[in-house]
Amino acid sequence: MNFATIGQNIVKLTIKYWDKFLITGMQYTISLAALTVGVGAVIGALIALLRMSRIAPFRWIAAVYTEIIRGTPMLLQLYLFYFALPQLIPFLNKKQYLCVAIALICNSAAYVSEIIRSGIQAVDIGQTEAARSLGMNQSLTMTQIILPQAIKNILPALGNEFIMIIKDTSLASTFFIGDLMTQCLLIKGATYLTMEPLIMVAVIYFVLTFVLTKLLGVFERRLRRGDVR
């Protein structure tokens, strides 16, 4: 392997394909990850509330959904949603990006629900008992007492979920929806080079996740300072 040649090819490919492929790939990857975590957080919150519900069927449905999603590979879920959804919902026919996004959202919602549930359960039970002794009902206790404290536990974990989803979107390249790995495959097919496009995309993934990790660290430190005050 000639490392000098590989380095030269990477420079040439970066100059040639930066605007057309790589920036487009980053836009698709980041938008898909943001959509997945954003909508997944809303659905995950509902699932978490169902799992903590006093109504047994709600708890069972939420538990079964969570266990199935967490117990099967994401790639398998992508295939199922990609091929099954257009047959169930004709509107989604030939809408590959939307089918993949729905699959990722459903996957993320299961994990986010556990993040939210654990964040809520981490709040001291004495807080709930004190609120109820003051005459606050269950919903008011949750919205005014429990959730504001649980958010400090939930938000950093959601940030980590966002970083994980950015990497997991690489599986979407199986369906050529425009993400970074899809652009890598397109560059590989256009140039007949294998190693160079992979290194380029690996560097971009690393930079994205590294920057987000550092930003998340700053956010967590600010939350801890707020607790000290």
C-alpha span between 87 and 149 (Å, rounded)? 43
Token pair listed for 18: 């930066």
3-class SS at 217? helix
pLDDT of residue 65: 95
Q: Are 185 and 173 in contact (CB under 8 A)?
A: yes
Spell out the residues 6+ positions from residue 25 whose beta carbon is closer than 8 angstroms to its own: 178, 179, 180, 181, 182, 183, 184, 201, 204
Does the pLDDT value for residue 49 go beyond 70? yes
Does the pLDDT value for residue 228 go beyond 60? no
119-140 per-residue burial string, b: 16 or more CB within 10 A, e: under 16: bbeebeeeebeebeeeebeeee
Does the pLDDT value for residue 131 go beyond 80? no
pLDDT of residue 1: 59
* Domain-wise residue ranges, the chain: 3-228
Of 4, 19, 17, the closest CA to residue 185 belongs to 17
C-alpha span between 49 and 149 (Å, rounded)? 16
Does the pLDDT value for residue 122 go beyond 90? no
CATH architecture for the domain at 3-228? Orthogonal Bundle (1.10)
pLDDT of residue 177: 87
Could you give the dihedral angle defined by the CA atoms of residues 157, 163, 167 and 171, in that order, rounded to the nearest 10 degrees?
60
Spell out the residues 6+ positions from residue 2 whose beta carbon is closer than 8 angstroms to its own: none
Q: Are 178 and 29 in contact (CB under 8 A)?
A: no
Token pair listed for 188: 């590989």
pLDDT of residue 148: 79
Please provide the average confidence, as pLDDT, over all residues in the chain. Answer: 88
pLDDT of residue 19: 83
Q: Residue with structure tokens 């560059």?
A: 187
C-alpha span between 24 and 31 (Å, rounded)? 11
